[in-house]
Amino acid sequence: MGHSVLVVEDDTEIRELLRRYLERAGFAVVSTASGAQALDLLGRHVAALVVLDLGLPDVDGLEVLRAARSDGQVPVVVLTARGAVEDRIRGLELGADDYVTKPFSPTELVLRVQAVLQRTGGRAEPADLSYGDGRLRIDEARHEARWDGALLDLTPTEWGVLAALAAVPGRVYSRYELINRVRGYEFAGYERTIDSHVKNLRHKLGADGPRVVRTVQGVGYRLGLSRDR
Ligand code: CA
């Protein structure tokens, strides 16, 4: 899995279009229609870059932009339908890394995202990662995981959960975040479905399952192994 991109866009069609194109380009996409949720996700450092629609229903997009730039300096590619000169100027003042005016070509947007990530130092390099003194190995390019050397037969959802948890070992992921990362869209009210996927994933990991995928009461899950050097 490549870099995580947070897509903040209240237009469902555009949001899903962006997801498809970004995922095809190898990015892991988290998306939301809500500015408030975007602020929450930014606070939890889920993204290497944000694609941000400025015209959001609940919070001023510029507010989200400001938060992204102040909190950990996450690069932002702004989408705007308004095309208003003052928005553009204001956005650039606040540190937007690039601008795309709607209607836009999704292919071009993906190229801009890649260019911004290269310019700002991040480059997606699929890696073969190792955790817990080599007991867990994750091959991002092949979407494969091995436990004690044996290939795990995972469903796409189980793989997605494991890859998300392994992205930042020890970090606690809420059910919302996991389902969003795996399914890619809001699953309000269905967050509990993640529990059954976690249960199956643990089962496949054998006796150590619950220690590899740890429950954090009242919050969600985290990887119980540290990454090997
Ligand atoms: Ca909008």
Domain 128-223 of CATH type 1.10.10.10? yes
* Model pLDDT, residue 205: 96
Nearest to 37 by CA among 189, 165, 180, 169: 180
Domain 4-119 of CATH type 3.30.70.3270? no
CA of 105 to the centre of ligand 1 (A): 16
Helix (H, G, I), strand (E, B) or coil at 158: helix
Over the stretch 12-68, which tens digit does the pLDDT of each residue have? 999 999 999 998 898 888 899 999 989 888 877 778 899 999 889 999 898 999 888
Kindly give the pairing relationship between strand 28-32 and strand 4-8. Answer: parallel
CA of 54 to the centre of ligand 1 (A): 7
* pTM score: 0.56
CA of 75 to the centre of ligand 1 (A): 20
- In the predicted model, residues of the chain with pLDDT beneath 70 are 1-2, 71-72, 81-85, 87-88, 121-127, 183-190
Helix (H, G, I), strand (E, B) or coil at 74: coil
Helices H / strands E in the chain, number of each: 9, 12
CA of 80 to the centre of ligand 1 (A): 8
* Model pLDDT, residue 206: 94
CA of 11 to the centre of ligand 1 (A): 6
Domains of the chain, by residue range, sit at: 4-119, 128-223
CA 198 distance to own-chain centroid: 18
CA of 71 to the centre of ligand 1 (A): 23
CA of 164 to the centre of ligand 1 (A): 28
CA of 91 to the centre of ligand 1 (A): 15
* Model pLDDT, residue 184: 60
CA of 148 to the centre of ligand 1 (A): 47
Which residues share a beta bridge with 91? none
* Model pLDDT, residue 188: 55
CA of 78 to the centre of ligand 1 (A): 11
